[in-house]
Chain A
Amino acid sequence: MHDMPQAIKEHAPAQTFIRKYVFSVDHKVIGKQYFGLALVAVFIGMALSWLMRLHLAWPNLHIPGLQWLSSSGAPNGVITPEYYLSLMTMHGTLMIFFVLTNAPFAGFGNYFLPIQIGAEDMAFPRFNMMSFWVTLVAFCVLMSAFFVGDGPPLAGWTSYAPLSAVGGSAGPGEGTGQTLWAISIAIFCIGQLLGSLNFISTTLDLRTRGMTLMRMPLSTWAWFITSCIGLLAFAVLLPACLLLVLDRIAGTSFFVPSNLVISDQVQTHSGGSPLLWQHLFWFFGHPEVYIAIVPAMGIVSHILVNSMRRPLLSHRVVIYSLISIGFLSYMVWGHHMFVSGMSPFSALMFSFPTLIITIPSTIITLIWIGSLYGSKLRITAASLFALGFISLFVSGGVSGFFLAQPSIDIYLHATYFVVGHFHLVMGVASIFGIFAGTYFWFPKMFGRTMNEGLGKLHFWLTFVGAYCIFMPFHYLGLAGNVRRYSAFVEDYLQPLLPVHKFISIAALITGAAQLIFLYNLVYSRFRGKPATENPWEATSLEWSIPSPPPFDNFGGKHPVVYHDPYQYGIASSTGDYVMQNSPEQIQTVRDDKSLT
């Protein structure tokens, strides 16, 4: 056996069920596994948000059955303030790490990056397999916090020290639960590092002949840039989590200051720096928000170009803007710490690049809108979600300009304004990117088409719903409604309760609308209309192979690439487009006058 080259061994079709569907090294199976994990995580996360919204609007509501999940956290089904925070922490952690990182980046990226560059698999298929299984372990460790000790942690997805570092005396879930959180995230980092390593090497080394960097589709560019961001960001969060674990179980004092009294107990730690955690966390945390959004930007561009039937105003400028976003995302983390007691001078130093980073985002947005202007857009569920993405990204991004001013942020920092900002710009926008990608690529992934009618219904309900939920958050924030409170039963917040009720009802309806998506997904998987090779008349390589693709993608051959990725709006033998691997000669491009 030993003279058989490694790669061929890895690329023979897997024989057993386990090798084929469970411990598979095939990037397509791994991509689907990530997608499936994200799907599980998103529905759990959504259920948690329902519980929170119910409690916020009706603080004394008995939620039947909840006492079985936690008898102390929800005696009689009424959520305690501490348990509310636990639900919030788990919601945020699940959504940011296991949904927004997993689905658009690891899920779709794994499936389509190798195909879009004409490779038969990732550069390191085994690392790839490990990265998924490591992530799954991280997920299980996190979920186990629901069932062991005294419940899930309550320090939020940012797990600020010292609360997160002192241990059980800090409240329910701050014992075992918080340790599990830190371990889970550390494991998650390892999985993401392996994934990023793979994405980068694959993009650099495995491109097929003719696939120059500038000929890569924008989605591939976005995954590539995201993996560069992720490589450095997760490499910082990993040691940060290790230090946190040491503070918690080994008695060190990295993050816990001296003479800290919690629950009438003087803590044994001394001299640590809570700000150190904030710096390490946000050095990861801000790039992380771009890890969530950049793949969605790539997916949306890829889909919009296809639906508009013409290239973007500039392919290159989008790429350069994405690169500068990736670069700048490392220089702004302090804007999350304006109220941390940091010197006003550093606040200014972080405010400035924060405003700069809005420039490339704005450029990309303008390119989308400028390219859309006057185009004959094909309205599909995928293109609707792509349009929705732009809308949400703009609406949520605008509030970023306000938050970037330290003097304004001091007022807004701990309010619902920030919650509204990041849910629109990162949460829902990125989810819209995932939806768009799902409707668009489902035919390729499963060989069947999703139901367009249901998809459009899903879009409108979700789009309107998302605005109903998250726009009012801004008004609440401006009115001084603090975030991370479990109920607003007395004091000046009482008059805002009707707004909260409205939001909660909107959240329940919008959440329920997601069942349409789930139904569509499951139904189409088995009963959907069989898909052809290239149902969207698209140009990139993934549409040049059967749906679903064979195990080695291109059937043992590698395609040769002759064209830029988005040759739409031309006259060719196939119609108004020509595929990247078609040797057909193109005379002129209608939209690009400089070439005619």
Chain B
Amino acid sequence: MATTVHEPPRTEEEVRSGGGGFHDLVPADGNLRALRDHSPEPSRTGIWVGLAAITMSFAALTSALIVRQGAAPDWRHFTLPRILYLNTLVLLISSVSLEVSRRRFAPTSPREIKPSARWLYATLFLGMAFVTGQYVAWRQLASEGLFLATNPSSSFFYVFTVLHALHVLGGLAGLMYVIRRLKRFALRPSTLDVTSYYWHFMDVLWLYLLLVLLIRL
């Protein structure tokens, strides 16, 4: 279908509302180099794409759990280690602290990084505490004789929690990167935002996984 009447270049406002894309990356004079720094970041889109993929992976694993549980009468139920609930609390608090940091981050005065940084360190610490807590949970299960291959239920427990912990470790790496950029006064708001979306998503994912494990194990 060839529509084609000549169209004059759109004005700035029109383009922003989605004419040339979700975001307009080209300023009036068309000079690319002048604008890169304050243009909207693709990472804001990318993060949702990435989270969609992670969601899909865990959805696949959940369906695997349901199928496997129904496949044979060998599913052994066990109670989850108590520490998981403490870990959950820690992870939730870490999200709050990251949110505080994000609110305190004022791109207008890049030199005032202290409050923001403090809360970022808190988040980092809480995130590490969460992973350590998960490790304690694995040790506890192991001491009860429940290993990866002991029973399908324990297999799924380990697969879920380890994969989630790996993702949290990825988030910790992201936080460290954010802190480094912040200290160099080079942190872009989008980087912080995107990291926080990821981090909050790890919360939600964990709550979901915990629920599945509670119901199924």
Chain B minimum-CB-distance residue to A233: B56
B144 at the interface (CB under 8 A from A): no
Docked complex: B31-72 residues within 8 A CB-CB of A? 31-33, 36-37, 40, 42-43, 45-46, 49-50, 52-54, 56-58, 60-61, 63-64, 67-68, 71-72
Chain B minimum-CB-distance residue to A284: B60
Chain A residues lying within 8 Å of B33, measured Cβ to Cβ, are: 8, 556
Docked complex: A568-594 residues within 8 A CB-CB of B? 583-586, 589, 591-592
Chain A residues lying within 8 Å of B145, measured Cβ to Cβ, are: none
Contact A239 B19 (CB under 8 A): no
Q: Please judge, given known A-B contacts A254-B152, A311-B1, A562-B6, whether A5 and B46 are in contact too, CB under 8 Å.
A: no
Chain B residues lying within 8 Å of A235, measured Cβ to Cβ, are: 52-54, 56-57, 60
Contact A210 B9 (CB under 8 A): yes
Contact B46 A246 (CB under 8 A): no
A296 at the interface (CB under 8 A from B): no
- Which one of A268-276, A446-454, A485-493 contacts B? A268-276
Complex-state Cα separation, A595 to B31, whole angstroms: 35
Q: Please judge, given known A-B contacts A201-B42, A236-B57, whether A561 and B20 are in contact too, CB under 8 Å.
A: yes
B186 at the interface (CB under 8 A from A): yes
Chain B residues lying within 8 Å of A275, measured Cβ to Cβ, are: 67, 71
Contact B67 A273 (CB under 8 A): yes
Complex-state Cα separation, A566 to B53, whole angstroms: 34
Give 17 CB contacts A-B under 8 Å: A2-B184, A5-B37, A7-B37, A206-B21, A207-B21, A208-B20, A210-B10, A231-B52, A232-B52, A243-B64, A272-B152, A276-B71, A280-B64, A315-B2, A557-B31, A584-B6, A585-B5
Chain B residues lying within 8 Å of A561, measured Cβ to Cβ, are: 20
Chain B minimum-CB-distance residue to A561: B20
A288 at the interface (CB under 8 A from B): no
Q: Please judge, given known A-B contacts A2-B185, A239-B64, whether A232 and B56 are in contact too, CB under 8 Å.
A: yes
Q: Which of A196, A271, A554 contacts B152 (CB 8 A)?
A: A271
Complex-state Cα separation, A209 to B30, whole angstroms: 9
B residues contacting A by CB (< 8 A) are 1-7, 9-10, 15, 19-26, 30-33, 36-37, 40, 42-43, 45-46, 49-50, 52-54, 56-58, 60-61, 63-64, 67-68, 71-74, 148-149, 152, 155, 159, 163, 184-186
Complex-state Cα separation, A198 to B20, whole angstroms: 19
Report the minimum CB–CB distance from A403 to chain B (whole Å).
25
Chain B minimum-CB-distance residue to A231: B53
Docked complex: A167-198 residues within 8 A CB-CB of B? 193, 196-198
Contact B148 A201 (CB under 8 A): no
Chain B residues lying within 8 Å of A193, measured Cβ to Cβ, are: 53
Report the minimum CB–CB distance from B43 to chain A (whole Å).
8
A252 at the interface (CB under 8 A from B): yes
Chain B residues lying within 8 Å of A557, measured Cβ to Cβ, are: 30-32
A123 at the interface (CB under 8 A from B): yes
Known: A243-B159, A271-B73. 4 other contacts (CB 8 A): A124-B46, A272-B71, A283-B60, A564-B4
Report the minimum CB–CB distance from A126 to chain B (whole Å).
12
Q: Which of B2, B9, B45, B61 contacts A564 (CB 8 A)?
A: B2
A558 at the interface (CB under 8 A from B): yes
Complex-state Cα separation, A198 to B33, whole angstroms: 21
Q: Mark A214-256, 1 if CB is under 8 A from B, else 0.
A: 0000000000000000011011101110110010001111100
Contact A207 B1 (CB under 8 A): no
Chain A: interface residue total (CB-CB under 8 A): 78
Q: Mark A31-62, 1 if CB is under 8 A from B, else 0.
A: 00000000000000000000000000000000
Chain B minimum-CB-distance residue to A269: B149
Q: Which of A124, A280, A558, A585 contacts B25 (CB 8 A)?
A: A558
Chain A residues lying within 8 Å of B46, measured Cβ to Cβ, are: 123-124, 197-198, 200-201
Q: Please judge, given known A-B contacts A201-B42, A556-B33, whether A276 and B53 are in contact too, CB under 8 Å.
A: no
Q: Please judge, given known A-B contacts A197-B46, A210-B19, A236-B57, whether A271 and B71 are in contact too, CB under 8 Å.
A: yes
A527 at the interface (CB under 8 A from B): no
A398 at the interface (CB under 8 A from B): no
Q: Which of B1, B4, B53 contacts A563 (CB 8 A)?
A: B4
Complex-state Cα separation, A437 to B6, whole angstroms: 30
Report the minimum CB–CB distance from A284 to chain B (whole Å).
9
Contact B20 A566 (CB under 8 A): no
Interface centre among B10, B37, B49 (most CB of A within 10 A): B49
A316 at the interface (CB under 8 A from B): yes
Interface centre among A235, A275, A591 (most CB of B within 10 A): A235
Contact B60 A280 (CB under 8 A): yes
Complex-state Cα separation, A501 to B4, whole angstroms: 56
